[in-house]
């Protein structure tokens, strides 16, 4: 499963509420499809996360889930 579209779909299925894309430079990003409250932002929840590769992005999304707001 090395194709970007397949990896993107797998990550979005694993982490509902996130939209995944890759920059021209090859960096992987995910952003929430909804808004966060001020309390969620203060608790460390992020609207967008970035990583060098899909595994790193999955790790960041798992961390966001543990912080109490995995999806929107």
Each of the 72 residues of the chain gets a pLDDT tens digit; together they read 469 999 999 999 999 999 999 999 999 999 999 999 998 888 889 999 999 999 999 999 999 998 864 444
pTM to 2 decimals? 0.85
pLDDT value of position 67 = 81
pLDDT value of position 62 = 97
Q: How far is CA 7 from CA 2, 24, 41, 54, 58, in A?
A: 7, 16, 28, 7, 11
pLDDT value of position 71 = 47
pLDDT value of position 68 = 66
Indicate the angle between helix axes 4-14 and 54-66, nearest 10 degrees: 10
């Amino acid at each position: 499963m090395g194709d970007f579209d397949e990896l993107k779909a797998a990550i979005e299925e694993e982490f509902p509420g996130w939209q995944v894309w890759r920059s021209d430079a090859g960096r992987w990003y995910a952003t929430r499809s909804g808004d966060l409250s001020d309390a969620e932002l203060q608790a460390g929840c992020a609207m967008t996360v970035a990583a060098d590769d899909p595994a790193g992005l999955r790790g960041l999304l798992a961390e966001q889930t543990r912080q109490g707001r995995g999806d929107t």
